[in-house]
Amino acid sequence: MNSDPKGGAQARYEAARRAARSVASAFRTVRLYPLHHAATVEALEAARAAVDGYASAYGSLLVTAADHGLVFDAAGAPYEDDVVAELARALRARAIPALRFLRGLPASELGILLSALHLPRAQLERSGGLAALLASRGVRGIVIGDVAAPQAAGADLLEALVEAAGAGATDGIAACLRQTGGSEETIRDLLRRLDRRIVTRPRAEQAAAWRAVGRSLTSLRASWQAAVCAMVVRSVDEPWAASIAAQWPPVLAASLAAQAAPSGARAQGRRVADVLRIFKQTRPSVSLPAPEAPDPDALRRAAADAAWDGRRLREQAVRRLGELLPAMKAGELEPALADLEAAVVTMAQEGDGAGLLAALSTAARAAVPPGDVRGDLLRAMTRRVLSLGSRDLAVHVLAGAPGGDHLLVHAMRLAPEETVRLLRQTLGHPDAQLRGAAARHAAALRRLASRGGGELPDDAASALARIEEGSA
């Protein structure tokens, strides 16, 4: 079986990835700086060198926009990272399925392409499309492709396999599997796809199809069949493999397991051999308990507890959004924060202090690495929550003992001006308790600022000084 990619294929993939990433990086630079800027010139030259490096070794580079990321040379899984995602989005948004970079491509032509990719789709269409635009500007080293999405290996066999399995034609199934060339990965993928295709069919049809697949393998007429049986046994944790193995008598599955599965192979946390031994055994039946009905008071309490109103659900959703923000890239974070801002506006209108506190916590506590572009978006959002909700926030945000991890400290880091404004307003509040809390927090923040060490930004001390002015 050819299960491991060869070193050469890996090197080729790595070269393609490097080249595509360089182009994507230059695409980003072109968005920020004009073409003649030194940063752009440098990025285009780096991209040209990477593309040429690939093309010299392997021929022209084909880059295809997939649903997620880019596919190189119409093979393998899509590749995506922050940099590449931007280029992939631009290609998808402008309905450009593929770009082919030819050997000897000059940096100037790359610059023309990347500038054009920043044009709105409508403008490109008015120019007769990207291909026409590039041709009119003398670009010869880039071909705009019109290729179909790359197909997984063995995809062309899927229809035949579905048909043969549906008809119970074991010879037809064996023929399809044989045509894969015996590649374990291709057969595994083909069987996974077959599973996806038949999983919504009536159970009896599914069982018949898997029975036919099982039979097509266990005649063991050829060595590749034995190898596929071994692969099925090792993969029994996957639904399709379980369905095939379930068609085999237990003693057959156990016999195959003994020959095929390494002793350490596991399925659902158990050894494959152990799973197969009990594969079709129904466990001792334990009758379903039928407990007494809960007493009416407990049921009333449970029903009341289940009835959260819209405001409480919104607050909960805002809190959960805070857990999702770190996983979002800038492109997704922006609309998410727009949703948050809309919720904050409603919360401020409704005087929903608890909801505003959740929103402030969500924006101010979301941890992103220093220098990350998302930090600016979160800073702006923190300012917005503090500005919009200052009236209702104070009583909630000032609760709890002042300290290094208090929400106010996080807010101070991101939005010192707005945080100080909130404290100053509260120091003038008629409620003495609230005034006291504000004073304690202000003192704690001052201590933190005077300690230095980067816990608060440099402008925090001067902002905090204005509290004194306000109270004086």
**Interface of this chain with other proteins, residues 411 to 470, rule: CB under 8 A:** none
The residue among 111 and 214 lying less far from other proteins, judged by its C-beta, is 214
What SS3 state is found at 352?
coil
Q: What are phi and psi of 79, to 5 degrees?
A: -110, 135
CB of 160 to other proteins, least distance (A): 21
Which of 34, 269, 371, 404 is in the footprint of other proteins by CB under 8 A?
Answer: 269
Measured in whole angstroms, the distance separating CA 97 from the mean position of its chain's CA atoms is 22
Q: How many CB atoms lie within 10 A of CB 411?
A: 26
Start-to-end CA distance of the chain, whole Å, equals 82
CB of 228 to other proteins, least distance (A): 14
The size of the interface with other proteins (CB under 8 A), counted in residues, is: 84
The residue among 325 and 448 lying less far from other proteins, judged by its C-beta, is 325
Q: Show the binding pattern over residues 19-58: x = contacts other proteins (CB under 8 A), - = does not.
A: ----------------------------------------
Beta strand segments in 351-457, E = none
Tokens of residue 139, six digits: 């670009």
The residue among 142 and 325 lying less far from other proteins, judged by its C-beta, is 325
Measured in whole angstroms, the distance separating CA 341 from the mean position of its chain's CA atoms is 23
Classify the C-alpha dihedral 241-243-247-252 as positive or negative. positive
Beta-carbon contacts of residue 96 (< 8 Å; ≥ 6 apart): 65, 117, 130, 144
Question: Which range of residues in 111-119, 300-308, 416-424, 427-435 is near other proteins by CB under 8 A?
Answer: 300-308
Distance CA 185, CA 234 (A): 13
CB of 114 to other proteins, least distance (A): 24
Distance CA 115, CA 95 (A): 16
Which of 115, 179, 183, 255 is in the footprint of other proteins by CB under 8 A?
Answer: 255
What SS3 state is found at 395?
helix
Q: How many CB atoms lie within 10 A of CB 472?
A: 5
What SS3 state is found at 150?
coil
The residue among 305 and 469 lying less far from other proteins, judged by its C-beta, is 305
Q: Is 306 in the site for other proteins (CB under 8 A)?
A: yes
Which of 37, 126, 320, 440 is in the footprint of other proteins by CB under 8 A?
Answer: 320
**Interface of this chain with other proteins, residues 165 to 204, rule: CB under 8 A:** 192, 199-200, 202-204
Which of 150, 214, 389, 416 is in the footprint of other proteins by CB under 8 A?
Answer: 214
**Interface of this chain with other proteins, residues 329 to 348, rule: CB under 8 A:** 332, 336, 339-340, 342-343, 346
Question: Which range of residues in 18-26, 236-244, 399-407, 421-429 is near other proteins by CB under 8 A?
Answer: 236-244
Distance CA 64, CA 74 (A): 7
Q: Is 89 in the site for other proteins (CB under 8 A)?
A: no
The residue among 126 and 280 lying less far from other proteins, judged by its C-beta, is 280
Beta-carbon contacts of residue 220 (< 8 Å; ≥ 6 apart): 226, 229
DSSP string over 157-185: GHHHHHHHHHHT-HHHHHHHHHHTTT-HH
**Interface of this chain with other proteins, residues 343 to 382, rule: CB under 8 A:** 343, 346
Q: Is 307 in the site for other proteins (CB under 8 A)?
A: yes
Which of 95, 299, 345, 443 is in the footprint of other proteins by CB under 8 A?
Answer: 299
Which of 8, 34, 291, 371 is in the footprint of other proteins by CB under 8 A?
Answer: 291
